[in-house]
């Protein structure tokens, strides 16, 4: 395996579906942060065949777990402090998403009301369906 230097403080996102790492990089807004990021693509994995890994060196509170849980709750979040993994976080589907996805229903109040947050609520956990809190429009899971 390709060797990438250890990080001091930050997180390692493991078990990302192969090819999805750049999408997650963007959705987490890592492009806007001035921190060290390693993107590993198509890493061999016993469990998944191939997987992606993201290593990010940044303060721990910078990570939005809700967004990550929404994108793919199978991702493992390893929290790193002083160069060691101190915690493995399991992601769950967030009950509510605020300003993560936008309601696309043109008849929805979110289309005209000033500064109204776009809020989606987990309506069906099994089918992973989110609905707009206001108009109940279904959200497309893939973002």
Partner 1 sequence: MRHLMSPLDFTVEELDKIFDLAGEIEKDPKRFAHVCDGKKLATCFYEPSTRTRLSFEAAMMNLGGNVIGFSEASSSSAAKGESVSDTIRVISCYADICAMRHPKEGAPMVAASKSLIPVINAGDGGHQHPTQTLTDLLTIRSLKGRLGGYTIGLCGDLKFGRTVHSLIRALLRYDNIHFVFISPEELKIPDYIIDELNEKNASYEEVIKLDDVMGKLDILYMTRVQRERFFNEEDYIRLKNFYILTKEKMLLAKPDMIVLHPLPRVNEISVEVDDDPRAAYFKQAQYGVYVRMALIMTLLNLEA
| Residues near partner 1 (CB under 8 A) | 105, 107-114, 116, 132-137
The whole-angstrom separation of Cα 3 and Cα 1 is 6
Paired residues of 129 in beta bridges: 124
Pattern of binders to Zn ion over 118-137, x per CB under 5 A? --------------x-xx-x
In angstroms, what is the minimal distance from the CB of 92 to partner 1? 24
Token pair 């509170």 is found at 61
CA-wise closest residue to 68 among 30, 19, 117, 40: 30
Q: Which does 67 bind (CB under 5 to 8 A by kind): Zn ion, partner 1, none?
A: none
**Shortest gap between Cβ of 104 and partner 1 (angstroms)?**
12
Give the C-alpha separation, 71 to 23, whole Å.
9
Residue 56 contact partner, candidates Zn ion, partner 1, none, CB within 5 to 8 A by sort of partner: none
Nearest C-alpha neighbor of 17 from the set 56, 37, 38, 47: 47
Give 60 or 135: the residue with its C-beta nearer to partner 1. 135
As measured in angstroms, the least distance from the Cβ of 124 to Zn ion is 17
Whether the CB-CB separation of 122 and 95 falls below 8 Å is answered with yes
Q: Tell the smallest beta-carbon distance from residue 101 to partner 1 (Å).
A: 15
């Amino acid at each position: 395996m390709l060797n990438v230097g250890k990080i001091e403080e930050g997180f390692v996102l493991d078990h990302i579906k192969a090819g999805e790492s750049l999408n997650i990089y963007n959705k987490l807004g890592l492009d806007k942060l001035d921190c060290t990021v390693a993107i590993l693509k198509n890493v061999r994995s016993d469990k998944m065949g191939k997987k992606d890994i993201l290593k990010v060196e940044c303060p721990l509170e910078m990570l939005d777990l809700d967004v990550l849980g929404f994108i793919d709750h199978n991702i493992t979040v390893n929290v790193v402090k002083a160069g060691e993994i101190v915690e493995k976080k399991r992601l769950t589907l967030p009950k509510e998403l605020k300003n993560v996805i936008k309601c696309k229903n043109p008849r929805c109040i979110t289309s005209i009301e000033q500064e109204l947050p776009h809020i989606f609520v987990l309506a069906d956990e099994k089918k992973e369906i989110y609905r707009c809190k206001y108009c109940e429009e279904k959200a497309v899971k893939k973002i």
